[in-house]
Chains A and B, each alone.
Chain A
Amino acid sequence: MSIIVNLDVMMAKRKISLNELSEKVDITPANLSILKTGKAKAIRFSTLDALCEALECQPGDILEFQKNK
């Protein structure tokens, strides 16, 4: 898929663990892991909103578009 999820990068920058983040955004660690590993097919605005608030970043910091080669 050409949308890349950079959640792991942002988590490393903010030095926050998966469990901590999942508690902050009120999502199960399993679902957050799906998003982190790029297996997710879609993301709700509410989830993105919560993630951006918890990580103090913009949606573009979490999601990135890369052209398929």
Chain B
Amino acid sequence: MKTRLKILCWLFAAAYLFVIVYSVAFDFIPSFTSGFNEGMKDGYELAEKLKENDGKEKKHRRANAFGMLSVRVIPVEGYKTYPDKIINEKTGEKVMAENHRMYLKVEDMPQLPWFLVAGNILVVIISFVTLFCLVYVPVLSFKTIKSIVNDDIFDEKNIHRIRRIGYSLIVVFLCILIHAFVSEATAQHVMSMKDYKIVSAWNKGDVFILVFGIVVLIFAEVLKIATRIKEEQDLTV
């Protein structure tokens, strides 16, 4: 029984490690590098403009701070109506296309109302919370796996770790939800498109984070009961 559990733990650790390495190598590093380069470029351009305009550009640039938006869109006519056309470079033909997600960079942001500014500041703060959780969850997971592999399953520390994993996942889901809501509200305030309507940016798949978080919390409670039974069993003469 324990061999099977250990094999499953090793498989989980390997799969989790693969996901982390893959997302860092193919998602996080390229995204961070491009963002860093763009920030450097923007900062350099702003400094140049400030020099030329004697500080007048400053206010305008501040308004552009929230100009990068990630939104989910659906065609106004409905799904599978293919409002776009792209050229197939292999045949030269026009191919009908449909977008469901867009990354927008709005250069001339209008002045946002106070609640959207507050919302965007909140998004910046919660992105740090999300980052912390995304680092904390693997750390806790690997500690728990190590403990299970070392035959130390029914331990209070494991219960606390698993509970923290559950809470972290729920926090990540809430952060995603807030980010999606603020992005949608900002995008709808700033722009509208002819063929598409902007909808909330969260995916149905994100709900699995919430479901998984709750399942993990349930598992923690089951483990707590099991630990208590084990203690009683150990103290039965």
Taking the closest CB of chain A, its distance from the CB of B4, in whole angstroms, is 29
Taking the closest CB of chain A, its distance from the CB of B225, in whole angstroms, is 15
B237 at the interface (CB under 8 A from A): yes
Contact residues of B between 165 and 213, Cβ < 8 Å to A: none
A39 pairs with B235, CB closer than 8 A: yes
* CB-defined contacts of A35 to chain B, threshold 8 Å: 237
Residue of B nearest to A36 (CB): B237
Q: How large is the interface on B (under 10, 10 to 19, 20 to 34, 35 or more residues)?
A: under 10
* CB-defined contacts of A42 to chain B, threshold 8 Å: 232, 235-237
* CB-defined contacts of B235 to chain A, threshold 8 Å: 34, 39-42
Taking the closest CB of chain B, its distance from the CB of A9, in whole angstroms, is 17
CA distance A65 to B161 in the complex (A): 39
* CB-defined contacts of B236 to chain A, threshold 8 Å: 40-44
B152 at the interface (CB under 8 A from A): no
Contact residues of A between 1 and 55, Cβ < 8 Å to B: 27, 31-32, 34-35, 39-44, 47
Residue of A nearest to B236 (CB): A42
Residue of A nearest to B228 (CB): A41
* CB-defined contacts of B231 to chain A, threshold 8 Å: 41
Which A residues are within 8 Å of any B CB, using their own CB? 27, 31-32, 34-35, 39-44, 47
5 CB contacts below 8 A, A to B, read: A40-B235, A42-B237, A43-B236, A44-B236, A47-B237
3 closest Cβ contacts across the A-B interface? Answer: A41-B235, A42-B236, A35-B237
Which B residues are within 8 Å of any A CB, using their own CB? 231-232, 235-237
